[in-house]
Each structure stands twice: as C-alpha cells, then as structure tokens.
Amino acid sequence: MSITHRTLSITRSIAARCVVSLVLLMGLSVSPFLLEAAPKGKTEILSMEKAAPAAVVIETAGTEQELRRQMRTKNGVDELKVGTVRFSEAATNSYGFIASKHLGLALVTQSPDLALERTPPSSNAYEIHKLADGSGLLVGFLGNEIMQEVKPSERPKNIRISLYSNPAEKAPFIVAVPFTKLVVDQMPRRAESKKPDGPVLLEMDLQSTANRKALGK
C-alpha cells in the first residue's frame, strides 16, 4: 500500500508539472501576438487621422490674387506642369482647377478621382491643392464667423458651410478644407442668379473626423 501510494503521489506530481509547463508554453506563444496587436491597431488609428488634415485658413482680407498666392505658399503647392491630369496622377505639392459643375458631381457621387486643369476652365472654377502626403484640399471663400468654426483642428461637432468659389461680400476670407471630411448632397449654385460668371457656392457638411476615402484611392 505504501509503495502504491508513493507511486500515485509521484505520478500526480509529474502530471501537475506537465500541466504547469503546458500553461507556461501557451502563455509564451500567445503573449507575442497580444503584444503585437496593440501597437498595430494604434498605428492604424494614427494613420487614419493623418489622412485627414485640418482646414487651412488665412485670417486677412485682400485681393483674390493675393489671397490665393498666400494660400498656395502656406500649403507649399505650385502650378501643375501639364494641361489636364487626374488627381491621383498629379504631382504632390501642386494645385489645379476644376469646373464647379464637375466638382459638384464628383462630390455628390463620391467619385474617387477628379480631373484637374492647369488653368481655370471658368471664372468661378474651384481650386484644388494636392499636399506632400497626397491628401487633397478644396479651396474657397467663407465669412469670418463660420471661418472661426472651421479653423480648429479638432471640432466636437460637424458644421454646415457654404463654400464660395471666389470672394464675395458675404465671404471675403480664403480657406482650404480637406476632402476626406466633406459630405455634399447638392450641386453648386450661383451666388447671384443675375451674374452667370459670378461666384458660385457649394453647401456641404464639414465633419469633425474623416468620413470618406481620400481622393484617387
């Protein structure tokens, strides 16, 4: 009986050690995956935030030509080198133009790409900037009150804006808003019905976070 009891004790001890070893091995094999998963998820979140730049504003009044020059300098963009090109194929640090009608269609249908032209196709065309990281900004004009709401890089809520293609009495300040934060549900319209060549305005929601894919993706 004594030998049998001792044998059972030894067997149980060996079994317990095996179980402990197995648990430790499982822990070692699982831990690296858990440790790797956290940084990877964090990196993806930061990547998404980086793809949605803040709006760029210039808080001084001036002529349209001077304001556009200041905005281009601030965003570090130069004129396109070709006549017409898709946004996805345009060089980074460049700017081009798009007719308001074509811009409206592209934004309403959430087109993944835009056709940019080196020179404005009309007097009320919109200007597009392609930044160094490949993201896009839509340039237009706003009033001072709404511009102060657009300016913060982090906003607690979405806001409704009317972005003019050119300076107007109600919109003398230039601004550039990120495409990834725009939601558009209507086409642009003339600011003044009796002036077909005058500024047009495009109403849209400027989201607090990125809500659509980047242009050209």
pLDDT one-digit tens code per residue, 74-103: 999 999 999 999 999 999 999 999 999 999
Tell me: do 60 and 147 sit in the same domain.
yes
**Same structural domain for residues 22 and 62?**
no
For residue 213, is it within any domain? no
Measure CA 99 to chain center.
22
Same domain, 137 and 151: yes
Residue 197 pLDDT: 81
The pTM is what?
A: 0.72
Q: How many domains does the chain have?
A: 2
Give a yes or no: residue 217 inside a domain.
no
Is 115 a domain residue? Answer: yes
Q: Residue 212's pLDDT is what? A: 62
Q: Where are the alpha helices (DSSP H) in the chain?
A: 2-50, 64-75, 100-108, 144-150
Range of the domain at 114: 54-206
Q: Give the pLDDT of residue 73.
A: 97
In-domain check, residue 157? yes
Fill in the DSSP letter of residue 210.
-
Give tens-digit pLDDT for 115-135.
999 999 999 999 999 999 999
CA distance 41 to 56: 29
pLDDT value for 141? 97
Same domain, 19 and 102: no
Residue 37: per-residue pLDDT: 34
Flag whether 215 is in a domain.
Answer: no
Amino acid identity, residue 140? G
**Regions of the chain where pLDDT drops below 70:** 1-53, 153-156, 210-214, 216-217
